[in-house]
Structure 1
Amino acid sequence: MTDLFERPTVQGDQQPSRSSRSAERARRAAKKRKARRRRRAAIVVLVSLLVVGGAGYVISQNVTSLFGFDNPLEAKDFEGPGTEPVDVTIEPGSTGRDMGAALVDAGVVASAAAFVDAFEANGNAGTIQPGTHTLLQGMPAKDAVARLVANDSRVETKITIPEGWTVQQVLDRASSVTGIPIEEFETAMGDTAATGLPAEANGNYEGWLFPTTYVLEPDETTATGIIARMVGQTVMKLDEAGVPPADRETVLIKASLIEREAKYAPDRPMMAQAIDNRLEAGMPLEIDAAVAYGLDKPGTELTRADLDDASNPFNTYEHKGLPPSPIASPGSESVAAVLNPEPGTWIFWTAVNLETGETRFATTYAEHQTNVAELRAWQEANGG
């Protein structure tokens, strides 16, 4: 008989031996240990990658699903365009992240991360000004940055005081801009300690409200605060110019006369010298602007009777020396002219063209009369 006719062995007909079962179990255990080693190696590689480069991103993308709370690193953003207006204060020295935190607290942007991204993407973000800004709640971060950069959202009050204005003119302007009644300013000015008016001013604010543009934050728009800012600016400018406190009032009086008389910057130092020359010679100053101030009328409307009126303490035709106080708020150029007069022998000056303010200076009375004749000719040619 051959093997072809032998009955094939059917698996299962014979039971494996005990030694073969032990070998199989050993093979399976080794296979599991090998798989565990591969998984551990993969985990080590993944952790290394996370630490080196991608941890922040992976965590930020999965923290919400993993832990069930909002991810503070996620750059959430509003669709906009925004709803209710809200005031937000940007503190001086704030970084983009500081600004973002303030805007998140106010409900303007959805996340500081979105604001920082928009801040860094805007090349003009470094020009954002500190102060109080009015924005909208629920704004897209890029719109919030653009609004801050434009600076059209800043809540501020600007008061511009021109050179040569009187206290009354300053108060009228401050009241019209802020809506604060003039009476409140006058009451505030009664407390010179609160406004910082120096003792040498003798309680008179004329000349001490410095002419410039003042930018006031919302919490600064009080009568006392505004006057204090103006007085403080004058004191600062005088200190910067090296004026001793004892000389402040005298400098302001002279500078105010120059401010109201001079039209052009080169005339100011010459006029300052002419004033000093007259004072040293014991001559009356004969300055029309001072007389007009005492009468509360324009200098171009003075009459011969006005120039003869000794009851006017500001009549520098009738009273020698300086007037009792400044007659206006002088600017820095006029103060500088007083402190640095141009050397010369001038005694007289007169405008020869009342439209342009062109002025002639003279040492002798005869020269002065020639200049006055030129003025009279101009007046005749221009209707008196």
Structure 2
Amino acid sequence: MVGNQLGWFSAGQSQSEEGADYPGPGSGEATITIESGDYGTLIGQKLYEADVVKSIEAFTRAFDANPAAASIRPGTYTLKLQMSAAQAVEALLDDANRTDNAVMVIPGETYNQVRDSMLAMDKFSAEDVKKAFDDPAALGLPDVANNNLEGWLFPGAYEITPESTPQSILTEMVSATVDFLEEQEVPESDWMRVLTEASIVEREVVYTDEMPKVARVIENRIADTTEVHGVLGMDSTVLYGVGKVGGIPTQADIEDDNPYNTRLNKGLPPGPIANPSQDAILAVLNPAEGDWLYFVTVNLDTGETLFTNNFEEHTANIKKFQQWCSDNPGRCN
């Protein structure tokens, strides 16, 4: 395994002059795409096939000799033909040679926000982007998703290659979500529940270490039959139901009767409200131990959040938040 990763036993190596290197500096131009997860030998294979380096072994040797080589980022690079291996490594470390062609999915974004980001990049036509988002069945969504993309676009950076289409990139995002759920051995029958809870966790708190607490609050509230009676009462879902992605719900928002209003409807909403991170998913799979039924963020700048199982304490905590809003005019509107 180690030998293969280092390129010692690459099938392509037999076709090159073993260990040979160009003197450089090279000439002409080659476009190389480095994908996430590419190791030194895989990068060397691509450079060798494009005649950027003379042998995979020479590139691997230069890669191992450069301490910074491990930080080579995925992307599309413009390099010279017939460079020395050491120069090729240096060129890959120079952002001036890299085209920043990544579609970013930020944890907590909705699929509409991801779509807007793709449109803003001006890499695809608006028609192709719309077509891809309007045909979720073609993106490899599992049946349990009910053709709803929300929650299934795994956060991360997705490189745009010359062959990329909006459909191929979205398919990669969906596949990454499915792969992660399978890696965590989540039964397919639980995928929607896990993603739905994780999306709420993602939108409710700032700090990663508080996510397992929020996941526990969700479980406690759904199971409760005496105090909250299975009502989640999450602001994030209320906002999603009226088409908002942030802020504080207005009274009109709270009273809007839609399936995502968890102040009016018991249990979970019908699906995810955003694309959750790995941390949020893991929090749902491993919730903290506790009997909390309430929490409130009392400082929007620091994200400080207070948890309790006592309604009176919760009421006092809400007053702390209201005081923060009073001290910071315009921040809670």
Band of TM-score, shorter chain: 0.7 to 0.9
Pair 1:368-2:329 in alignment: no
Q: 1:124 aligns with which of 66, 83, 87?
A: 66
Distance 1:361 1:202, change over 3 A: same
8 A Cα contact 1:192 1:203, kept in partner: yes
8 A Cα contact 2:136 2:148, kept in partner: no
2:296 and 2:45 map into 1 onto residues whose CA distance is: 61
2:325 and 2:292 map into 1 onto residues whose CA distance is: 24
Q: 2:103 aligns with which of 149, 159, 163?
A: 159
8 A Cα contact 1:352 1:360, kept in partner: yes
Partner residue, 1:302: 249
8 A Cα contact 1:100 1:116, kept in partner: no
Pair 1:352-2:294 in alignment: no
The higher-RCO structure (CA 8 Å, 6+ apart) is 2
8 A Cα contact 2:105 2:157, kept in partner: yes
CA shift, 1:268, in A, is 1.2
Partner residue, 1:278: 221
One-letter code of the match for 2:250? T
* Unpaired runs of at least 5, structure 1: 1-71
Structure with the greater alpha carbon radius of gyration: 1
Distance 1:238 1:80, change over 3 A: closer
Partner residue, 1:259: 202
TM-superposition CA deviations, 1:243-297 (whole Å, max 9, x none): 1111101111111111000111222111111111111123321111111111122
Judging by fraction of residues, say which structure has more helix. 1
1:262 and 1:304 map into 2 onto residues whose CA distance is: 22
SS of equivalent residue, structure 2 residue 296: strand
One-letter code of the match for 1:170? V
1:117 and 1:291 map into 2 onto residues whose CA distance is: 58
Q: Greater shift after overlay, 226-235 or 149-158?
A: 149-158
Partner residue, 1:172: 116
2:43 and 2:307 map into 1 onto residues whose CA distance is: 57
One-letter code of the match for 1:225? S
One-letter code of the match for 1:258? V
One-letter code of the match for 2:280? S
Partner residue, 1:187: 131
8 A Cα contact 1:238 1:248, kept in partner: yes
CA shift, 1:81, in A, is 6.4
Q: Greater shift after overlay, 245-254 or 89-98?
A: 89-98
8 A Cα contact 1:156 1:217, kept in partner: no
- 1:99-248 superposed matches below 5 A: 99-100=47-48, 102-103=50-51, 112=54, 123-124=65-66, 127=69, 133-137=77-81, 141=84, 144-150=87-93, 152=95, 153=97, 157-177=101-121, 179-219=123-163, 221-248=164-191
1:120 and 1:364 map into 2 onto residues whose CA distance is: 63
1:237 and 1:76 map into 2 onto residues whose CA distance is: 40
Distance 1:182 1:373, change over 3 A: same
8 A Cα contact 2:294 2:308, kept in partner: yes
8 A Cα contact 1:158 1:214, kept in partner: yes
Q: Greater shift after overlay, 206-215 or 228-237?
A: 206-215
Pair 1:377-2:319 in alignment: no
Percentage of pairs with the same residue: 36
8 A Cα contact 1:291 1:315, kept in partner: yes
Partner residue, 1:15: none
Distance 1:349 1:218, change over 3 A: same
How many residue pairs align between the two structures? Answer: 301
